[in-house]
Amino acid sequence: MKTILIIEDERDLAELVAFNLEKEGYQAVTAFDGASGLEAARTRNPDLIILDLMLPGVMGIDVCKMLKKSEKTATIPVIMLTARGEEIDRVVGFEVGADDYVVKPFSARELLLRVKAVLRRSLPDRPEGKILSIGPVTIDTARHQVVVAGEEVILTTTEFKLLLNLAERLGRVQSRDLLLKNVWGYNYVGDTRTVDTHVTRLRTKLGPAGDLIRTVRGFGYKMEEP
Ligand code: CA
């Protein structure tokens, strides 16, 4: 059974989300502020975190940054809850590292679709594992580990899948639509801008090796040997 942690200070909303998730067969854990949310993320080891952007005390953005910085919680996918007009670009961009976002007010169905899509993405789909080396970048698929010039780089599940998709098709251009389908899944409701923000974030994390991911203007991306 998958465990989902909901960090949301509006208790009615948190409980409504928990109720809907439990109805779908998930185990729901609720936390009503950032500090107890971080604590629950560390102790309950959830499969997914639904995190409200506006929280008292530690803000949602900072909670997300802390989750992504800690090795223990960095790979747990995060869906951010935002109000319309809040800074979605920052949320899905490099600065915060959320895997997806849902704009309030949302329907239970909308949130469940996102939850299912994000969980599907985070499933390990290559149990046998292999090692890919592209220039200074080494990707260990079994351990979900990326090392650049001897230093481990911590990637989110989505960033890892994106890098792997590019690395496995070395030198071949992939359209944004194809990447969206392969990395985010067929049922993903979103636009190709999502691909661009994640590629930007991935490049930054890879440092100088980020240049191995080339933009093919008006079409998509490809990864090349240096
Ligand atoms: Ca709130």
pTM value is 0.63
* Cβ contact 171:225 at 8 Å: yes
120-158 confidence digits (pLDDT tens): 877 655 456 788 999 999 999 888 899 999 999 999 989
Does pLDDT of 51 surpass 50?
A: yes
Q: How far is the CA of 203 from the centre of ligand 1 (A)?
A: 32
The whole-number pLDDT of residue 6 equals 98
60-79 confidence digits (pLDDT tens): 889 998 998 888 898 899 99
Above pLDDT 90, what percent of the chain? 58
The whole-number pLDDT of residue 126 equals 46
8-20 confidence digits (pLDDT tens): 999 999 999 999 9
Handedness of CA 40, 41, 45, 51 (dihedral sign): positive
Closest CA to 177 of 191, 167, 164, 162: 191
**Token pair in block for residue 54:** 């506006």
Which residues are near ligand 1, the ion (C-beta closer than 5 Å)? 9, 52, 54
Query: Angle formed by the axes of helices 193-206 and 157-168, to 10°?
Result: 90
The whole-number pLDDT of residue 92 equals 61
Domains of the chain, earliest start first? 3-122 (3.40.50.2300), 131-223 (1.10.10.10)
Q: How far is the CA of 8 from the centre of ligand 1 (A)?
A: 6
Length of the chain: 226
Q: How far is the CA of 216 from the centre of ligand 1 (A)?
A: 40
